[in-house]
Structure 1
Amino acid sequence: MSAQIFSIDAREDGGAKLALNFKHDAHSGIRRISCDLSPDGLLQLVLYAEALSLRQHLGHPAASRLSVDGLELSCDPATPDLHVTRQAGYARQTASIPLEFFQAEMAGMTEICMSRAEVSKHAPVLKQLLAECVGPEKLDQRLGQDEADLVLHQLREIAFLLLVREASARGSALGRKLRGKKTQDQAREAVRVILLELATELVPVSA
């Protein structure tokens, strides 16, 4: 049940419309999976796609799963496809997308989410703090300088999206630290921890 057409279109409210047209082996004609993603749902999907992309780029794909807005995505490194399940009430639909098609389509969504995050009031200071963070220990020795720079850039983008979401939440402790003159060191440490946690999760030691 491989998808014939996969598309995802951003909406003005910050969410997106996802659609897959596919042919079911047991039925004639084309079937369709569609899902309205909330703004946070779209961000989760973008972060998932970015993590998949980084692990695949490093040659260390891993099994993964995401559940968001009634949609479940799963990836098995033994297959070239991303598996999609849509649960709406008692109705359940499943299909698959070649992972390369999914990543190509999601690249545009990543750019949109980055553009939206960059207009956040916390964006300038977060970008500055991330730029000050050094990469994981000996990353350049493991990957070579050019490759390490590319990986660190992608880690910073993922961290930036996560941190903007956290800092923008009402009552955010990180937001308070970013705004306070006396808490900049605490904010810097919080940013550093997020970046290193991402590196530990997404960049295998053997990379």
Structure 2
Amino acid sequence: MQDSLFSLELFDSGRTRLIAAYRDPDHGRFRRISQLLSVEETTQLVLFSEAIRLQRVVGAPGKPAVEVGASNLSHDPDSSHIRLTRSVAPLNEVQATTVDVETFLRTIEPVTCQVRERAQSSKHGQSLAEHLDGMRLPDSMTAASQSEEITSRLRDIAMILLVEQASRKGSDFGRLLRAKSRQAEAKAEVASVFEQIAQGFAPPAKAA
């Protein structure tokens, strides 16, 4: 299957439009996948891309995947492609194509920057940044040659997820971050989330 022509249109609102143009192998004509993603779906797409980047550096097992609206994206680390499918409800049809993984990662970088900047400048961004600044890799990952890059990406993922959690209406975590007398508790909660994310990307243990 020939890779599609892939692009992302970024809006000031934080939404994006995912576009993939490809040649239908069954009919020989060009087709198009186009989907407007919400802010939340855009964030999920960014986290998917960060998972691919981290997996490459760390060598963690698993196949990253994400569902955004009617579209699904998945990546096998042994492949140089991302599989993209979209369900077309009225026709009971599934469109399917592939995207070159390097093209995808390059294309999503401006979106990633916007999502990161929004998280950092959010109501809880500064407090979370201060707590995350002291986070370090677990012992199972400290020997990695690119530990600084790994730590930075893990902090970015944690920041995005924690801002989302703290911003929910009535969030207990949001109240914890705002309580000056409970910052030790807040830091412990941040550390717990950071460690859970890091462990999710930890390389498999070597056989004795």
TM-score (norm 1): 0.92
Q: Any gaps of 5 or more consecutive residues in structure 1?
A: none
The superposition leaves residues 150-202 of structure 1 with CA deviations (integer Å, 9 ceiling, x where unpaired) of: 11111001111111111111111111000002221111011101110111001
Contact 1:117 1:161 in 2 (8 A): yes
The code of the aligned residue for 2:170 comes to: G
Aligned to 2:188: 189
Query: Kindly, what percent of the aligned residue pairs are identical?
Result: 30
Aligned to 2:93: 91
Contact 2:140 2:202 in 1 (8 A): no
2:189 aligned counterpart, secondary structure: helix
Contact 1:84 1:94 in 2 (8 A): yes
Aligned to 2:26: 26
CA RMSD of aligned residues (A): 1.7
Task: Provide the rounded CA distance (Å) in 2 between the counterparts of 1:177 and 1:185.
Answer: 10
Aligned to 2:71: 71
Question: Do residues 57 (structure 1) and 57 (structure 2) align?
Answer: yes
Q: Any gaps of 5 or more consecutive residues in structure 2?
A: none
Superposed displacement of residue 29, structure 1: 2.6
Aligned runs of 1:107-146 on 2, under 5 Å?
Answer: 107-137=109-139, 139-140=141-142, 142-144=143-145
Question: Do residues 39 (structure 1) and 27 (structure 2) align?
Answer: no
Contact 1:8 1:18 in 2 (8 A): yes
Superposed displacement of residue 11, structure 1: 1.7
Question: Do residues 106 (structure 1) and 108 (structure 2) align?
Answer: yes
Equivalent residue pairs, number: 204
The code of the aligned residue for 2:31 comes to: R
2:139 aligned counterpart, secondary structure: coil
The superposition leaves residues 116-135 of structure 1 with CA deviations (integer Å, 9 ceiling, x where unpaired) of: 11220100010000002222
The code of the aligned residue for 1:114 comes to: R
Contact 2:51 2:64 in 1 (8 A): no
Mean Cα deviation higher: 73-82 or 192-201? 73-82
